[in-house]
Amino acid sequence: MIRLALVGCGRNAPALVAAVTASDHCELSVVADIDPQPAGSVARAANAIRHVGDLGSLLASGNADFDAVIVNTPNDSHAHIALTAIRAGRHVLVEKPLALSADEAREVTQAAERADVRLMAAHTLRFMPANVQVQRALAAGELGKPGMLRSHRWLRRFPGPPGGWKHDPARSGGLCLHEGVHEIDQALWLIDERPTHVHALAGPELLQIHLGYASGAMAVCGIATGLPLGGGYYSLTLIGSLGAAYADDHHNMHLVYRGGRPQAALTDLRASAVRAQFDEFARAIGEERAPSVSGADAVAALQIAEAAAASSASGHTAHLTDSGYDLA
C-alpha cells in the first residue's frame, strides 16, 4: 500500500479522498493545507488522519510517514511544492497543469529524474472509462490511423468569489493552461503525433482549441466552464481510417422513470477516472516504473497550451517549432 500525503484541501479534495479510499493500491496518511478549517474537515472525512499546515513543516517534523505527495494546491504553487517533495525523495502526483509554464514543468521533470522518484501529471481524461476504451481500440489497430478528434467538455461555473485564484490568470495560468491542457494531452495521447498548427478562440468561460497535424489529422476541442447547474457534459468522437469511436454522456444517458417525464441519471465518470489515476500512480511506484502519464507528457501539453494561449490572445495561428511556436 502506497502511503500518500494530500497537500491542498480545496474544493476537489473530498473527491480525491473518496478516490484514494476506494483504491486497493494506496491510502492517505496525512493532509496539509495552510487553512486549518478545510484541512481538519478533509482529515476527519479520511478516517480522522492527522492534518498539518504545509508540506515543508511536515517534512521537517520527522514524522513524514508517507511515500508520495498529491499536489492539489492552486496552480501557481504546483512546481514549488512538487520540487519540495522531490527533493525530500517523495514520489509526486501533481494536479494539472504540472506548472505554470513548460519551462517550469521541465525543471520539475528533470528534478524527478535526478532524484529517481516517480512524477505523474493528473491528466485525468486518460483515465475516463470511455476514453480508455477508445485508446485501446486505437492501440489494437481497430480504428486505423486517427484522422479527426472532436471533444467537448462542459463544466459548472468556477465556484467561489470572483477574487479566487481560479479567476486570476496569473495564478491559474488562464483557461488554456488550467483546462486546455486536459484536451491537449488527450489529443497527444490519442493521435500520438505532435501538432504543427494551433488555433485557439476564447470567449466568456469558453475555449476552443483547433490542432492541425502534418499527417493531415485534425482535432477540435471545446471547453465551457460556465454551466449554471448540474454536473458536467463530456463528448468525444474519434474518426479513424478504418472506423470511428463515439464516447459521450448523451448516448450513454441512463434514464429514471418515476411517472411524468423520464429523468437523466448521469454516472460520475470523473470519480472512476480519478480512482484509476491513483491506482496507476501507486502501481508505478510499486513496480518501480514510469507512470503512464509522465512529466514529459505534461511538458509537451504545456508547450501547446502556451501556443494556444498566444493564439487566442493574438487572433493568429501558432505554428509549432522545435523550441516553441511562431504566430502567423
Partner 1 sequence: MTSPERYRVLALSAAKHDYVPLAFKDHPRFQVVGVSDEPSAAGWVHECNERLAADLGVPYEPGVDAAIARHRPHVAVVSSEAARHAQLSVQAANAGLHVVQDKPMAPTVADCDAIVEAVERAGVRFLLWNRNTQPAIEEARRIVHAGEIGEPRAIHVDFFFCKDAGVLLNSDEPEEIPDSWLSEGELTVEGIYPLAYMRHILGLDALRAFGRASAHFFRRHAERGVEDIATVSLEMEQGVIGSLCSGRIGRPSHPNIGELRVHVVGSTGALVIAEPRPEVAVHTRGLAPDDDRNRRTDEETDRRQVDHFVTALDTGGDTLLTARHGRHIVATVTAALESARTGRSCEVSRPS
Q: Which stretch binds partner 1 (CB under 8 A): 6-14, 30-38, 126-134, 206-214?
A: 206-214
Residue 71 CB, nearest distance to partner 1 (Å)?
A: 31
Among candidates 42, 89, 92, which has minimal Cα distance to 64?
89
Q: Is 231 one of the binding residues for partner 1 (CB under 8 A)?
A: no
Interface residues for partner 1 in 305-324 (CB under 8 A)? Answer: 315-317, 319
b/e map of 124-137 (b: 16 or more CB within 10 Å)?
A: bbbbbebbbebbeb
User: Alpha-carbon distance 70 to 27, whole Å?
Assistant: 11
Residue 133 CB, nearest distance to partner 1 (Å)?
A: 16
Query: What type of residue is 178?
Result: H
Half-sphere exposure of 129 (CA within 13 A, CB side): 10
User: Alpha-carbon distance 75 to 105, whole Å?
Assistant: 12
Nearer to partner 1, 42 or 217 (CB): 217
Residue 242 CB, nearest distance to partner 1 (Å)?
A: 7
Grid cell digits, residue 190 = 490519442
Residue among 15, 193, 248, 290 that touches partner 1 (CB under 8 A):
248
Q: Is 328 one of the binding residues for partner 1 (CB under 8 A)?
A: yes
Identify the residue whose cell numbers are 502506497: 2
The percent of the chain in helix, strand and coil, each rounded to the nearest 5, is: 40, 25, 35
Residue among 158, 193, 233, 283 that touches partner 1 (CB under 8 A):
233
Interface residues for partner 1 in 210-229 (CB under 8 A)? Answer: 210, 212, 216-220, 222, 224, 226-229
249-288 footprint of partner 1 as x/- string (CB under 8 A): -xx-------------------------------------
Grid cell digits, residue 6 = 494530500
Residue 159's Cβ-count burial label (10 Å; 0-12, 13-18, 19+) is exposed
**Site residues, partner 1 (CB under 8 A):** 145, 147-148, 150, 152, 154, 196-197, 199, 201-206, 208, 210, 212, 216-220, 222, 224, 226-229, 233, 235, 237, 239-244, 246, 248, 250-251, 315-317, 319, 328
